[in-house]
A and B are shown apart, each in its own frame.
Chain A
Amino acid sequence: MENTIVKAENYNAWFGDNHVVKDVNISINRNEVIAVMGPSGCGKTTFLRGINRMHELIPGATAKGKILLDSQNVLDMNVIYVRAKIGMVFQRPNPFPNLSIYENVVAGYLLNGIKVSKADKDVIVEKSLTSSALWNEVKDSLHKKGTFLSGGQQQRLCIARAIAMEPELILFDEPTSALDPISTSSVEALFHELKTKYTLIIVTHNMQQAARVSDRTAFFYMGELVEFDDTKQMFTAPADQRTQNYITGRFS
């Protein structure tokens, strides 16, 4: 149990009357890379956004059940605390256009009004950018606007921004779907590095990506968690017929 970082118990989510996530039970361990895959509209992104309660930002969205983060239910916690503790990287790179690269990395502190000394900030920036494999590319232009970077660099900047808050868990919502193949591989390579320090949950539309980067894979279909197993097992001998159909491309 000690090793579990996130555990969903009978988690349900709705958009209005539309029941998009149904009775999901899942337990995720520390320092694991979890891929969440499934066809469009299967509830995978909604489930991911439920973990740090971004789901409820959409008008009419509701959620029931439990998502335990270190055995505390995030649905009962202060939402600001939950989101500060869980990092998130989005589908499209979204650095703050009004901030420099440097400020973007420490945005979590700046925007929350947390006072950090200049020296500490320097350390956080270098450490985070190094962890996101961006330091060498931007160390001479830290005070330029983050939006001048390429798409892949911007996405790694967003990862650095998430890392800077020292989360235990980082959620990725189709992080490479807006990137070109080279940027995609640079971000994928990062996942292997990040795994040593953080737990990653990656929603992906791309099965090859799930196979390449994850330790375990969850397959969602029509709002249900159909199967959750070792990635290798899942892609070679899935237990459920629906998983089999999905990975063999009978539907997508």
Chain B
Amino acid sequence: MNLSNAGYRNSKSILFQSVIVFFAFLITIPLIIVLLYIIEKGVLQVNWHFLTNVPKPVGEKGGGIVNALVGSAIMVGVASVMALPIGILAGIYLSENSKSKLAYYSGLCVDILQGVPSIVIGIVIYYWVVLTIGYSGLAGSVALGIMMLPIVIRSTEQTLRLLPPSLKEAALSLGVPYHRVILKVIVPCGFAGILSGIMLSIARIIGETAPLLFTALGNSFLSTNLLKPMESLPHVIYYYATSPYDDWHDLAWGASFILLMFVLLLNIITKVITRKWKIQL
């Protein structure tokens, strides 16, 4: 082999490596810029008053976003109650019966559902729910729940599929019935993965605005009634940021900061869970 151009080839390798390192570094920049900007604009708005009061009318000083905090919490909570059992059970089915026709088609549907634009889900819920019971937190929860489903299903499925089949055989060979094998062995062993899927799905839907626009509508007052319009964090940002008043813009920045911190926190918790609770196989 002719090694006369080894130096040239070596420098090509170094160049290539520098390029990929550069781009790996580059992708962190947008996040850092967004973070810094929102922290700069938003952090000063956040104080106890901001977290415990409803927005004030134009011209009045102060006001907060407690209605949005409570509304988002309620809607995400109700969405989780509806979506998690369905999502986890469906995920179990898909991981257990990956070769069946039903698994193929329902897996396909999950993928398509994941790709459906959130505004489309909003409009469907508008026709199904809002036209029967009116603009309400419940309608918003249903829309968010549907958005959670694909993430929960796929993460459950993928987590459980990674478990070795020998684990199931060990339990079955002890005479443990199938449902107990799933509930007592398979699900606990995949618990960290399932939980992180749940966290990520919450992080995903908490910032969804489109499906809430014409379902939960928004509400300038604190409301905990699921059957009445409800405010949410992303909607409060949208609503106040597009208004022409400066104090309202500040409110929107403050809400953005809270939302961002929340999503960040969820992602960090997810990382910690997967690292700490991961079961050594």
Contacts and interface: CB of A to CB of B under 8 A. Distances in A.
Interface residues of B, number: 23
A136 interface: no
Given A98-B185, A111-B184, A147-B280, A83 B172 contact: yes
Given A94-B167, A97-B167, A111-B184, A57 B280 contact: no
Contacts of A191: none
A94 to B, nearest CB: 4
Contacts of B24: none
B7 interface: no
Contacts of A57: 169, 172
A178 to B, nearest CB: 10
Interface residues of A, number: 32
Given A52-B173, A88-B173, A98-B189, A111 B180 contact: yes
Contact of A97 (B99, B173, B184, B281): B281
Nearest to A80: B175
A70 B227 CA distance: 64
Interface in A60-96: 80-85, 87-88, 90, 92, 94-96
A161 interface: yes
Interface in A133-192: 145, 147-148, 158, 161-162, 165
Nearest to B184: A111
B174 to A, nearest CB: 4
A90 B172 contact: no
Contacts of A87: 173
Given A59-B99, A98-B279, A84 B167 contact: no
Interface in B169-187: 169-177, 180-181, 184-185
Nearest to A164: B174
Nearest to B190: A98
B85 to A, nearest CB: 21
A97 B185 CA distance: 9
A92 B166 CA distance: 8
Interface in A94-119: 94-98, 107-108, 110-113
B175 A83 contact: yes
| Among A54, A80, A87, A110: residue with most chain B CB under 10 A | A80
Contacts of B184: 110-111
B188 interface: yes
Nearest to A161: B174
B280 A81 contact: no
Interface string B219-251: 000000000000000000000000000000000
Q: 5 smallest A-B Cβ distances: which pairs?
A: A84-B175, A83-B175, A88-B173, A108-B174, A94-B166
9 contacts: A90-B173, A94-B166, A96-B171, A107-B171, A107-B174, A113-B180, A147-B280, A165-B174, A165-B175
Interface of A: 52, 54, 57, 59, 80-85, 87-88, 90, 92, 94-98, 107-108, 110-113, 145, 147-148, 158, 161-162, 165
